[in-house]
């Protein structure tokens, strides 16, 4: 087996300018294209392209919240917020790989630090602050300095936010496909509200909005690409990363969050695209993402078991460009 060189896991130079009714991550993994690069090389390549300063003002936040006066175990109303946002995402190299000593094997973790800031596009109000890391878990070395096979989930993302939540998501290696990404449909509606809900209970999701497909936000991401194509922009290549807390990761929340609107699962899909302006020949990096956080509150209708709660998908999307 190949011997290990820690320098190979530094950032490369020359960065480029359970099955659910809705589970886009699994669907994308099943359609993964085969490539000749190793998992470690694919991951390093993705990290190279991800590093930098990103900006996007096409973001949308779709979140259901417990209505005023409701209690955790009530069958109450909810409030749906649909908020346009602008975002900065700063990603930088964290330095030399961190060494995890495991006795017969060691792991060298190369990482990128990130800081995300989100603002209401209409009011400039701060909506979200998050910092964390993307980690390449591929480098595992035995006592003879020989490289070992990487873990099946060789990418991790950690993050913390001031609401009192911490995430750990894992992913298989990113995959590469030529052309525009395959962005699947998703639904922002709760998948199971029980039996006997008042007529029109989920109608807030159906209210028309000319700027965002509230029921299927990924359709808006696809529309962004269609608009670009009509204006003469061509996507040459897409690198896709599918992260999920259910892949041996998790979410930790403070007691208030657990009691009132618990976050139980998070999925995040990143499409890192190389785009060319066909009129000028200029190329640039574009990042699209969709994130789904399952929030759990309110009893399902027809239920009295306090564990039978409605799951509300909290979805955020954006299309960003490297600055």
Nearest to 315 by CA among 80, 91, 120, 115: 80
What residues contact 164, with CB distance under 8 A and at least 6 apart? Answer: 253, 254, 256, 257
Q: Which pLDDT value is given to residue 37?
A: 78
Give the Cα-Cα-Cα angle 239, 284, 41 (nearest 5 degrees).
Answer: 35
pLDDT of 234 above 80? yes
For residue 9, the 8-state DSSP code is G
Q: Which pLDDT value is given to residue 238?
A: 98
Tell me the average pLDDT of the chain: 90
Q: Which two tokens mark 206?
A: 């159906």
Q: Which two tokens mark 163?
A: 């609401």
Q: Which pLDDT value is given to residue 5?
A: 46
Question: DSSP characters for 60-128?
Answer: EEEEEEEPTT--TTS---EEEEEEEEEEEEEEEE--SPEEEE-SSEEEEEEEEEEEEEEEETTT--EEE
Distance CA 62, CA 135 (A): 28
Strands (E), the chain: 52-66, 78-93, 98-101, 105-120, 126-142, 147-148, 155-161, 165-171, 175-178, 233-244, 250-253, 262-277, 283-299, 309-322
pLDDT of 32 above 70? no
Tens of pLDDT, residues 197-218: 999 999 999 999 999 999 999 9
Superfamily designation of domain 22-322:
Calycin beta-barrel core domain (2.40.128.20)
Q: Which pLDDT value is given to residue 17?
A: 30
Nearest to 9 by CA among 137, 175, 132: 137
Q: Where are the domains of the chain?
A: 22-322
Nearest to 45 by CA among 110, 90, 1, 100: 110
Q: Which pLDDT value is given to residue 39?
A: 84
pLDDT of 237 above 50? yes
pTM of the model: 0.88
CB 183 within 8 A of CB 271: yes
Q: Which pLDDT value is given to residue 66?
A: 95
Q: Which pLDDT value is given to residue 8?
A: 37
Distance CA 27, CA 313 (A): 18
**Could you tell me the sign of the dihedral formed by the alpha carbons of 186, 188, 193, 195, in that order?**
negative
Q: Which pLDDT value is given to residue 128?
A: 96
CB 84 within 8 A of CB 121: yes
Least confident range of 14-28, 172-186, 230-244, 296-310: 14-28
pLDDT of 12 above 50? no
Q: Is 179 exposed, middle or buried (0-12, 13-18, 19+ CB in 10 A)?
A: exposed
Nearest to 181 by CA among 243, 268, 244, 269: 269
CB 238 within 8 A of CB 272: yes
pLDDT of 34 above 60? no
CB 83 within 8 A of CB 60: yes
């Amino acid at each position: 087996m190949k011997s290990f060189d820690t320098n190979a896991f530094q950032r490369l130079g020359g960065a480029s300018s359970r099955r659910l009714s809705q589970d886009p991550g699994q669907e994308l993994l099943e359609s993964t294209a085969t490539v000749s690069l190793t998992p470690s090389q694919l991951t390093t390549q993705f990290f190279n392209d991800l590093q930098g300063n990103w900006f996007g003002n096409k973001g949308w936040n779709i979140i259901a919240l417990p209505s005023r006066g409701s209690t955790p175990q009530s069958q109450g109303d909810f409030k749906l917020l649909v908020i346009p946002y602008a975002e900065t995402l700063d990603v930088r190299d964290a330095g030399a790989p961190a060494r995890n000593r495991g006795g017969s094997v060691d792991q060298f973790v190369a990482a990128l630090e990130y800081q995300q800031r989100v603002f209401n596009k209409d009011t400039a109000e701060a909506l979200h602050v998050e910092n964390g890391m993307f980690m390449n878990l591929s480098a595992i070395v035995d006592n003879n300095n020989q490289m070992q096979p990487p873990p099946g989930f060789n990418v991790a993302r950690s993050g913390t936010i001031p609401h009192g939540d911490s995430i750990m998501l894992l992913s298989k290696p990113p995959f590469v496909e030529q052309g525009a990404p395959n962005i699947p449909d998703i639904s922002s509606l709760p998948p199971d509200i029980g039996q006997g809900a008042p007529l029109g209970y989920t109608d807030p999701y159906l209210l028309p909005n000319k700027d965002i497909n509230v029921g299927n936000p990924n359709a808006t991401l696809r529309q962004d690409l269609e608009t670009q194509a009509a204006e003469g922009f061509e996507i040459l290549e897409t690198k896709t990363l599918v992260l999920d807390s259910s892949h041996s990761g998790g979410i930790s929340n403070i007691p208030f969050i657990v009691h009132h609107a618990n976050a139980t699962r998070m999925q995040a899909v990143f499409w890192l695209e190389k785009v060319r302006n066909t009129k000028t020949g200029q190329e640039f990096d574009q990042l699209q993402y969709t994130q789904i956080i399952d929030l759990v509150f309110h009893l399902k209708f027809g239920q009295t078991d306090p564990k039978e709660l409605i799951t509300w998908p909290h979805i955020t999307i954006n299309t960003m460009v490297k600055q």
